[in-house]
Amino acid sequence: MSEKTAERVANATPVHIARKIKGLSDRTIAWIFVGPTIFLLLAINIFPLIWTVNLSFTNFKANRINRAIDYVGLRNYERILTDTDVWLSMQATAHFLFWTIFFQVLIGFTLAWLINKKFKGNDLWTTIIVLPMMLSPAVVGNFWTFLYQPQIGLFNYVVAFLTGRDASSFEMLGSVDLAPWSIVIVDTWMWTPFVMLICLAGLRSIPDYIYEAAEVDRASKLRQFFTITIPMVLPFLMLAVLFRGIENFKMFDLVVQLTGGGPGSTTELASIHLKREAFEKWRTGYSSALAIILFVTVFGLASIYVKALNKVKGK
């Protein structure tokens, strides 16, 4: 904190200059410049959030305008925490979160490590690898349902070709066992480049002299990897995991297009469950409470994680 304060003081315009400025004072300009942004965020983010909190204590249904609204206290929260469907959706989210991050870190780091060997044309190939993550998850996810078709889909065909199984003998999106993996595959395909880019930045931030010093000490390449490369990249990797974690906790568009939460409720992630409650069943009060619970969860987890991240960085 003290460091930050110092930085802020340094940032302020030096007094001898400030005195000479014509026109509006810096103070006024600062508020004119920041004001609209704060106002917009208050109107479209904070006010709605407060409203959501308020709604979460009611039995309001947004599709029933003529119905009386009653305050029901904590009943919505109680219902949610005792609802097995909510817990199942949290489990599905946890499975999705864990495995997507696992594969993305594994593949993303490996790719970054390989690219850092600085072979010819590595810039070009990096750009190509990055493409999937910049595209619309809804549009691309929708197309993946076509690739996953058991009869005609390219994915099934390729798997059948490689394993000798019948292409119509397995249903990536329709079977309870495979559907959770089918969404992990597509998310990994889309977002591995993200982890890769951040790891690459981490690898490139390691100064050569550290390796040179290790070389002088006759440390083996393997030892260098575990004592230099990994620890130096770790803060970057953790940052990548933070971003992916938050994003995938909120995951909606890609999975809605792929499975719609099915089969049954196998891949009904928290956001999809929330959407069903809020915009299909129109249980506005109930779903507001669920929204608050999700927000608090992601905020809480992220805060704990950031603390851990800062500790690692501090080392």
Residue numbers 136-155 binding other proteins by CB under 8 A: 136-140, 142-144, 146-147, 149-154
Q: How far is the CB of 86 from other proteins (least distance, A)?
A: 13
Q: Scanning the structure block, which residue is given the tokens 């130096």? A: 232
Q: How far is the CB of 215 from other proteins (least distance, A)?
A: 4
Residues in region 153-182 near other proteins by CB under 8 A: 153-154, 157, 167-169, 171, 173-176
| C-alpha neighbours within 13 Å on the C-beta side of residue 306 | 8
Q: How far is the CB of 315 from other proteins (least distance, A)?
A: 18
Site string for other proteins, 10-29 (x = CB under 8 A): -xxxx--x--xxxxx-xx-x
From residue 162, alpha-carbon distances to 157, 165, 167 in Å are: 9, 8, 10
Residues in region 286-315 near other proteins by CB under 8 A: 287-288, 291-292, 294-295, 298-299, 302
Q: Is 108 in the site for other proteins (CB under 8 A)?
A: no
Residue closer to other proteins by CB (options 99, 257) is 257
Q: How far is the CB of 241 from other proteins (least distance, A)?
A: 12
Could you give the CA distance from residue 29 to residue 33 in angstroms, rounded to a whole number? 6
Site string for other proteins, 63-102 (x = CB under 8 A): xxxx------------------x-----------------
Residues in region 197-226 near other proteins by CB under 8 A: 197-198, 200-201, 204, 208, 211-212, 215
Could you give the CA distance from residue 173 to residue 117 in angstroms, rounded to a whole number? 38
The partner residues of 71 in beta bridges, in order of sequence, read 58
Can you tell me which of 81, 106, 135, 312 binds other proteins, judged by CB under 8 A?
Answer: 135
Q: How many residues bind other proteins (CB under 8 A)?
A: 140
Residue closer to other proteins by CB (options 102, 207) is 207
Residues in region 230-259 near other proteins by CB under 8 A: 236, 239, 243, 246, 249-250, 252-253, 256-257, 259
Q: Contact at 8 Å (CB) between 254 and 190?
A: yes
Q: Is 122 in the site for other proteins (CB under 8 A)?
A: yes
Length of the chain: 315
Q: Contact at 8 Å (CB) between 105 and 187?
A: no
Dihedral of CA atoms 150, 154, 158, 159 in degrees, nearest 10, equals -30
Residue closer to other proteins by CB (options 95, 204) is 204
Q: Contact at 8 Å (CB) between 116 and 200?
A: yes
User: Which helix or strand (DSSP H or E) is residue 99 part of?
Assistant: helix 84-115
Q: Scanning the structure block, which residue is given the tokens 């489990």? A: 91
Q: How far is the CB of 64 from other proteins (least distance, A)?
A: 6
Could you give the CA distance from residue 156 to residue 140 in angstroms, rounded to a whole number? 17
Q: Scanning the structure block, which residue is given the tokens 């559907």? A: 179
Phi, then psi, of 58 in degrees rounded to 5? -120, 170
Site string for other proteins, 30-69 (x = CB under 8 A): x-xxx-xxx-xx-xxxxxxx-xx--x---x--xxxxx---
From residue 309, alpha-carbon distances to 178, 238, 242 in Å are: 34, 7, 9
Q: How far is the CB of 70 from other proteins (least distance, A)?
A: 11
